[in-house]
Amino acid sequence: MGNESRKVTFSVDRERNFSDWYNIVIRQAELIDDRFNIKGMVVYRPYAMKIVRVVYRFFEDRLERGGHQPTQFPVLIPEENLDKEAEHVRGFKPETFWVTMGGDEPLTSRYALRPTSETAFYYMYSQWIRSPTDLPLKLYQSVSVYRHETKATKPLIRGREFLWIEAHDVFATKEEAMKQVEEDENTMQEVIEGELAIPVLFLRRPQWDKFKGAVDTYAADVVMPDGATLQVASTHYLGTNFSEAFDIGYFDEEGRKNKVEQTCFGPGISRILAAIISIHGDNSGLILPFKVAPTHAVVIPIPGEGVHEYSVKIVQKLKDMGLGVEFDDRDETPGAKFYKWEFLGVPLRIEVGGREVSSSTVTVFDRATKRRTSIGLDELEKFIHGFSMLQHQELHERAEGLMNKFLDDAETLEKARSAISSGRRILRSHLCSMELDGEECARKIETELGLSVRGEELNAAPPKGKKCLVCGKDAKHQVYLAEAY
Amino acid sequence: MGNESRKVTFSVDRERNFSDWYNIVIRQAELIDDRFNIKGMVVYRPYAMKIVRVVYRFFEDRLERGGHQPTQFPVLIPEENLDKEAEHVRGFKPETFWVTMGGDEPLTSRYALRPTSETAFYYMYSQWIRSPTDLPLKLYQSVSVYRHETKATKPLIRGREFLWIEAHDVFATKEEAMKQVEEDENTMQEVIEGELAIPVLFLRRPQWDKFKGAVDTYAADVVMPDGATLQVASTHYLGTNFSEAFDIGYFDEEGRKNKVEQTCFGPGISRILAAIISIHGDNSGLILPFKVAPTHAVVIPIPGEGVHEYSVKIVQKLKDMGLGVEFDDRDETPGAKFYKWEFLGVPLRIEVGGREVSSSTVTVFDRATKRRTSIGLDELEKFIHGFSMLQHQELHERAEGLMNKFLDDAETLEKARSAISSGRRILRSHLCSMELDGEECARKIETELGLSVRGEELNAAPPKGKKCLVCGKDAKHQVYLAEAY
């Protein structure tokens, strides 16, 4: 947690000045340092890394329960691999970092610094897959990816290096592939919503906004405190696009080669960290979900007789429960200590003074609700066991409140304008088409409202008797319109 | 474990044809695939990744117990950072991959693809360290590093991308830094020897063979089945070389800036995997230490009445113990199954037939010793608890035997030649000097014997009355001579 003697000062309104709030919190809480001398590449400091690895573990456990196995592919990918799938290469080449030299010698052909790994995995998949018994093949890797981002960068949200996971799955049939998309949706919901208490909009993207090389893209969006949505994970149904380009297939009993069906899935761990910070925090700083907090509780002694001994006993009790505990007995005022640990988002503060010693109690402060409760020492363990669930509910409700604050229905451009002027940022409306023939209406929405079409909910029934908010033709989709990071 | 229908055939003598044995085992056990289309960059398949992550966890736990915290630095490093420490840059630039383009545009200055991260960490350390309370600073990252290797590559042993950990520590005094070197030595021994059952030679390298930029380099060498040594970890005392180059210092009470003392430590995870494979394996394939095996036991039913039900019960019992278990009820002969799982190095095979069912026993086969034991079902849990330790001892003894087989003392070049001709590969001898004035003798050893000076044991007392095996002058060091990977 860095230099204990530096004081934290902070007074920025998270919702009114979200960008300032965010920039101050990630730096002052020593999560991220963006002073490294490459634009868009940040240093993850210990406090962030400890959160990050819990998030990784959530996804990895969930992926492995679903039959995925870990792998690791090279960070460099030959240009010829990228060139194999025409749409994919058009999408990624403009933002690829290229390695062109080894030592003082130019390389005979250049290598891409992994912008995403389809063209690395599938080069090997074409060698690994021969028979139906090789399927399904479900592998994932936990690595970073690199994009030469030309837009303005923002730490964790838009960078040139970001932490993620990519899973690449191969099936014999489309039906199995589509089941995988549903499984990926469940994974996102179970982790992002179930573990991290962040409500998720799970949307199928319009054709003009899909992953380059995919048949369809499904993405998890979360709502940030400024009302913009942040895509934190996506899953792509690739059909046979890549299996044709890379000649991946299995031989059936008659010796015929059958193209395989593919999906890929990628939660963006850096962005999920940004979402945890932004969505759960408040005007006093971070609020970390109990499940990911590196420090679950800080014990703060208020000087008095027997306090030190009693505090040490409590610290040990908490450690014995397997919790991350800090004992803050620095020579500082309790107020300064309260301020610091609140800012760092430690879920529980345990205050111990003379009164607590004499009554065999502790005073527990809940960072999220800022409520103080007096608890008998012998009840502490039980209280903490229940706390994780209660805090989760509290944080989830707040995040849902945040999302709903920005959400509205708008059947026409005019109603949309009026909703926006009263502070709404995410509009549910209807669109003629999410195929390429709907792109013109989407452009108009962009120009007129400053919002983009984020897509429709998965398995949504087509709306009946609804009209496109732009062209007025029969609408095929209920869609979400939002400003996206 | 890949396609179940493919059969493994194998008959190569590990010690006589180590290189062939190694190449076959890593591929056929589906640990590594080196058919990726960049030379020296391999794919880690699930069986390898599961071992790798246990090894990572051993080091990370040990580092954190010693006060290190996790971090992650960018994969790219500006050339100007590398240029700051003159010796370091000379050492690493010739083998650095360079990123020179982003999209279609040349970058204004080129970036190194992390060959090692001193010049990334220390760029930030100069901003983070201000006062004595910022020290010690002990951070590590678990990442891959990249070298444009021009020598012949060998999977996991010499490649262009390898998995590792790097810890970068900063102290106020040399005394603390030297204590850290000892702590690093303990870490290597505790993990490599204590957890992985591989004996370690811990040596201070001669001045001509140290890490570029270090004052002194200390390394852990293990002995491979062909008698060559493999450096699997190293720790460097950097003195103030980098703190001067990067202006890292703390201000004392008088406002004077004091240069800090630094160390760095790097276990090579890829090489450690190579060592586990090579040193513990035998002519039937892999033998995995129980502590790192992804599958601890395979249960193989020998068809008979009640066998399936009984087997399922045993599988469940083992899973309840938290073990990795495979139940191999494929339609294959027991012999074929035995062969497969022995090749994959699964520590325990549990055979279940009619006799076992009727006597409420299991037949347990120990992959390392190839001994079969009949054990009462109610004794199985106890047996397995003891097995991990027994197997560790067995593997450690064997590895020690392997090392000792190659080890000999040789006071003169002539004796050294004779030892080599009788199969010795690692010679303990005496050298005039490990400073640069000893390099000429070392070159002669290289030419005459084909061995290099690996260095002297840490804290070794200077030898008394011994002469350099080359020049005959008084020897300052007892050194190890060996062929090194």
The predicted-structure confidence for B99-125, as pLDDT tens digits, reads as follows: 999 999 999 999 999 999 999 999 999
pLDDT at A144 exceeding the cut of 80: yes
pLDDT at A322 exceeding the cut of 90: yes
Coil, strand or helix at A441: helix
In angstroms, the CA A247 to CA A261 distance is 12
Identify the pLDDT of residue A9: 59
Nearest chain B Cα distance for residue A28, angstroms? 13
N- to C-terminal Cα separation, chain A: 29
Q: What is the pLDDT of residues B141-157, one digit of tens each?
A: 999 999 998 888 999 99
Determine phi and psi for A152, rounding to 5 degrees. Answer: -60, 135
Residues of A whose CB is below 8 A from B146: 75-76
Q: Which of A100, A128, A146 sits opposite B98 (nearest CB)?
A: A100
Residues of B whose CB is below 8 A from A111: 38, 97
pLDDT at B206 exceeding the cut of 50: yes
Residues of A whose CB is below 8 A from B36: 73-74, 120, 123-124
Nearest chain A Cα distance for residue B304, angstroms? 27
Contact across the interface for A50 and B42, Cβ inside 8 Å: no
**A67: nearest CA in chain B?**
B46
Contact across the interface for A103 and B120, Cβ inside 8 Å: no
Contact across the interface for B102 and A53, Cβ inside 8 Å: no
- H-helix segments, A370-438: 380-406, 413-421
Nearest chain A Cα distance for residue B215, angstroms? 25
Given phi > 0 = left and psi -120 to 50 = alpha, else beta, which region is A197? left
Nearest chain B Cα distance for residue A37, angstroms? 7
In angstroms, the CA B139 to CA B121 distance is 9
Does any CB of chain B come closer than 8 Å to the CB of residue A75?
yes
Q: Which residues pair with A363 in a beta bridge?
A: A351, A374
Does any CB of chain A come closer than 8 Å to the CB of residue B161?
yes
Contact across the interface for B99 and A113, Cβ inside 8 Å: yes
pTM: 0.95
8 A C-beta contact, residue B428 and residue B478: yes
Does any CB of chain A come closer than 8 Å to the CB of residue B109?
no
**What sign does the CA torsion over A462, A464, A468, A474 have?**
positive
Between A167-176, B10-19, B338-347, B373-382, the lowest mean confidence (pLDDT) is in B10-19
In angstroms, the CA A447 to CA A413 distance is 11
Q: What is the pLDDT of residues B168-185, one digit of tens each?
A: 999 999 999 999 999 999
How many residue pairs bridge chain A and chain B with CB atoms within 8 Å of each other?
171
Average pLDDT over residues B308-325: 97
Average pLDDT over residues B40-64: 98
Coil, strand or helix at A394: helix
Q: For chain A, what percent of residues have pLDDT higher than 70? A: 98
Average confidence score pLDDT of chain A: 95
N- to C-terminal Cα separation, chain B: 29
Contact across the interface for A73 and B4, Cβ inside 8 Å: no
Contact across the interface for A45 and B4, Cβ inside 8 Å: no
Cis link prior to A136 (omega < 30° from 0)?
yes
Contact across the interface for B99 and A99, Cβ inside 8 Å: yes
Contact across the interface for A71 and B44, Cβ inside 8 Å: yes
In angstroms, the CA B113 to CA B126 distance is 22
Q: What is the pLDDT of residues A367-406, one digit of tens each?
A: 999 999 999 999 999 999 999 999 999 999 999 999 999 9
pLDDT at B386 exceeding the cut of 50: yes
In angstroms, the CA B396 to CA A153 distance is 52
Identify the pLDDT of residue B9: 58
Q: What is the pLDDT of residues A423-479, one digit of tens each?
A: 999 999 999 999 999 999 999 999 999 999 999 998 888 899 999 999 999 999 999
Instruction: Provide, for chain B, the percentages of residues in helix, strand and coil under a 3-state DSSP scheme, each rounded to the nearest 5.
Output: 40, 30, 35
pLDDT at B6 exceeding the cut of 50: no
Identify the pLDDT of residue A88: 84
Angle between helices A307-320 and A380-406 (to 10 degrees): 70
Average confidence score pLDDT of chain B: 95
B348-352 and B297-301 as β-strands: parallel, antiparallel, unpaired? Answer: parallel
Contact across the interface for A38 and B110, Cβ inside 8 Å: no
pLDDT at B3 exceeding the cut of 60: no
Q: What's the burial of A388, exposed, middle or buried (CB within 10 Å: 0-12/13-18/19+)?
A: middle
Tell which residue, B232, B228, B179, B178, has the closest CA to residue B202. Answer: B232
Coil, strand or helix at B84: coil
The residue among A72, A105, A135, A164 with the most chain B CBs within 10 A of its CB, best to mutate, is A72
Identify the pLDDT of residue A3: 42
In chain A the domains, ranked by start, together with CATH numbers, are 18-280 (3.30.930.10), 297-403 (3.40.50.800), 410-482 (3.30.110.30)
Average pLDDT over residues A213-222: 96
Contact across the interface for A71 and B46, Cβ inside 8 Å: yes
Contact across the interface for A69 and B80, Cβ inside 8 Å: no
Contact across the interface for A101 and B104, Cβ inside 8 Å: no
Average pLDDT over residues B287-301: 98
**A74: nearest CA in chain B?**
B41
Identify the pLDDT of residue B1: 42
Q: What is the pLDDT of residues A166-188, one digit of tens each?
A: 999 999 999 999 999 999 999 99
Q: What's the burial of A301, exposed, middle or buried (CB within 10 Å: 0-12/13-18/19+)?
A: buried
Question: Which token pair is A100?
Answer: 């062109």
Contacts 24+ apart (CB under 8 A), A335-340: A336/A7, A337/A298, A337/A300, A338/A300, A338/A365, A339/A8, A340/A7, A340/A8
8 A C-beta contact, residue A259 and residue A268: no
Q: For chain A, what percent of residues have pLDDT higher than 90? A: 93
Identify the pLDDT of residue A460: 84
Residue with tokens 């101050």, as numbered in its chain: A24
8 A C-beta contact, residue A243 and residue A262: yes
CA angle B416, B420, B424 (to 5 degrees): 105
**B145: nearest CA in chain A?**
A75
Q: For chain B, what percent of residues have pLDDT higher than 90? A: 93
